[in-house]
Structure 1
Amino acid sequence: MDNIAVVDLTRPLEELADELGRSFSEFGFAVIRNHGIPDDLVKRVEEMQKALFELPTEAKMAYAIPGGGGARGYTPFGKEIAKDAKVHDLKEFWHIGRSLPEGHELAGTMAPNVWPNELPGFKETMEEVYAAFEKAGDRILRAIALHLGLAEDYFVAIVKDGNSVMRLLHYPPLAEGAPEGAVRAAAHGDINTITLLLGAEEAGLELLTKQGKWLAVDVPEGALVVNVGDMLDRLTNSHLRSTTHRVVNPAGEAARRSRYSMPFFLHFRPDFLIDPLPAFVGEGDSPQPPITAHDFLQQRLREIGLA
């Protein structure tokens, strides 16, 4: 099998485990159908997402937090830059994270959420879809654990209260005079454990294969794209690959319209020590040294210009 796996998440975990593991090992990506996030909820979120980015610039900028590293609220167009890229990406986005109760032991590593006053029901809708993403992510991680030869619930404790972030993403219509070489999202790897992406049906998402060729990710309508992040790559000593990917600029009519998507960056707990699993460290390997998920995140955020 040499294609990105397309799997039905309602199938037994034992059947999913090796199919997902094979795809994540070869490509770092898989496509998930019947992921359990209700269609009506997705539609409501998409409508609010469009309304959010249609707000006047001055209204959105009121929710941009100076010194916040883009962790919550609004990040304007032309701010984020891929590691080692020369120009900024052509996108704007809004981050929603976990809401922790007052006095929680991890509150110092997670900023409180920011909610736009202009959009009634925004908070409730986004918290509902955040929880749905977590539920889908839990099932995917259980399948990954089985593929790795671990207990099915291995990841449950180490992602509990993790610093997972949902990104509402807007790529505006392509404008004349954009910086030379600027694309909607330059080649990059994700920082986190796994990413669950809704809204990738429109062409543009591409991954870099082991052979060094760009491969378009073909996504059925309503499906999730899931990819391995750098944290899981590090934990498995690259048995599961965090693959470089990008969103290229479209041609023709697609260039004149906005593109919206919604990635959910599922994270380990900030205090989890990412130390390569012994089963995946062979003789003569030089695995990355242990580092907490929080320290790793801060290191990478500095590299992409958000901290």
Structure 2
Amino acid sequence: MTESNDIAVVSLDQPLENIADELGRSFSEYGFAVVRDHGIPQELIDRAEAKSKAFFDLPTETKLKYKIEGGGGARGYTPFGTEKAKDAEIFDLKEFWHVGRDLPEGHPLSEFMAPNIWPEEVDSFKDTFSTLYSAFETAGLRVLEAIALHLGLERDYFAKTVEDGNSVMRLLRYPPLGDDAPDGAIRAAAHGDINTITLLLGAEEAGLELLTKQGDWKAVEVPEGALVINVGDMLDRLTNSKLRSTTHRVVNPHGAAKDRSRYSMPFFLHFRPDYTIETLESCIEPGRESEAPEPISSHDFLLQRLREINLA
């Protein structure tokens, strides 16, 4: 565990009481932490990376078969030149695929979550990413337990809030930087995440940066195979910014790295669509109750933000 005031780097393979406050400190100061020993098998990570690359290597016309018109990018393929950061004028230099939760027919939340689609051109794609989705969720729940302990809540406080949540796993490809990229475009412009927490695999390559409280860009350095965890806007709202959703970006590389693709896999862990995000009483200073954000359902908050980033 880190002993400095830098971004926390902790192992999840220990009692959560040992790391809860260190994670809380890091999320409060930076909105980010790094987690080792997260329980997602390296063999599964390697297999998922290979399947992701195999999909993105398909011809563009093949990938476009899996673009769902009017779906807001919630499932399937979103092509290069679509997503923009909030308030940005230029699109991000990336393409991606989304895997969401599969709900049984007749489930009360099925109206909020479209069924997944799967590319038939890549063997074992569905099995691989269904397994990885579950592994991400398990790791995310453990991080949320640590957050609950830090906030003085019951350890399992968040379990019901995210049960059957609208969580999304994104397979990301940032193509090599070509001469046809718009002036000023970068791989991922400065933005905050919408969701509760994000778990990111594949951040070892340089490029991920966060904006500090002092207004400086700080590189996030990640050990091989570790997860980067960051606070999303929903958790920021719930905690009245005690835990910060921090602006971050992925900058363009230099040298040989600009001529190769970059791949990563973020998992956006969400509250249930019918969960009301109402600021925790313990996160409101006495006498400042009126300054707390208005309660809002996580689904309405999600739709509001998707419109801002050109996905709805």
Indicate the TM-score class for this superposition, using the shorter chain for normalisation. over 0.9
| Matching residue of 1:24 | 27
CA positional deviation for 1:228: 0.1
For the aligned residue pairs, the C-alpha RMSD in angstroms reads 0.6
CA positional deviation for 1:177: 2.7
CA positional deviation for 1:120: 1.9
Q: Distance in 1 between matches of 2:117 and 2:229?
A: 26
What whole-Å deviation, never above 9, does each CA across 1:208-242 have from its counterpart, x for those lacking one? 00000000000011000000000000000000000
Q: 2:305 aligns with which of 296, 300, 305?
A: 300
Q: 1:68 aligns with which of 64, 68, 71?
A: 71
What whole-Å deviation, never above 9, does each CA across 1:90-136 have from its counterpart, x for those lacking one? 00000000000000000000011010011121101100000000110
User: TM-score, normalization: structure 1?
Assistant: 0.99
Q: Distance in 2 between matches of 1:238 and 1:151?
A: 20
Q: How many residues align?
A: 307
Q: 2:288 aligns with which of 261, 284, 289?
A: 284
Q: 2:87 aligns with which of 84, 89, 98?
A: 84
Query: Which one-letter code corresponds to 1:236 in the other structure?
Result: T
Q: Distance in 1 between matches of 2:130 and 2:77?
A: 17
In the alignment, structure 1 residue 33 sits paired with structure 2 residue 42: no
> What are the within-5 Å matches in structure 2 for residues 129-144 of structure 1?
129-144=132-147
Q: Distance in 2 between matches of 1:121 and 1:13?
A: 35
Q: 1:177 aligns with which of 180, 183, 202?
A: 180
| Matching residue of 2:113 | 110
What whole-Å deviation, never above 9, does each CA across 1:34-79 have from its counterpart, x for those lacking one? 1100000000000000000001111110000000000000000000
Query: Which one-letter code corresponds to 2:89 in the other structure?
Result: K
> What are the within-5 Å matches in structure 2 for residues 137-176 of structure 1?
137-176=140-179
User: TM-score, normalization: structure 2?
Assistant: 0.98
CA positional deviation for 1:288: 1.1
For structure 2, the residue ranges without an aligned partner over 5 or more in a row are: none
CA positional deviation for 1:284: 2.5
Q: Distance in 2 between matches of 1:252 and 1:52?
A: 26
For structure 1, the residue ranges without an aligned partner over 5 or more in a row are: none
Structure 2 SS opposite 1:62:
helix
Query: Which one-letter code corresponds to 1:291 in the other structure?
Result: I
CA positional deviation for 1:139: 0.5
Q: Distance in 2 between matches of 1:124 and 1:31?
A: 27
Q: Distance in 1 between matches of 2:149 and 2:105?
A: 35
Q: Distance in 1 between matches of 2:299 and 2:74?
A: 13
Over 4 Å off, 4+ runs: none
The alignment-based identity, stated in percent, is 70
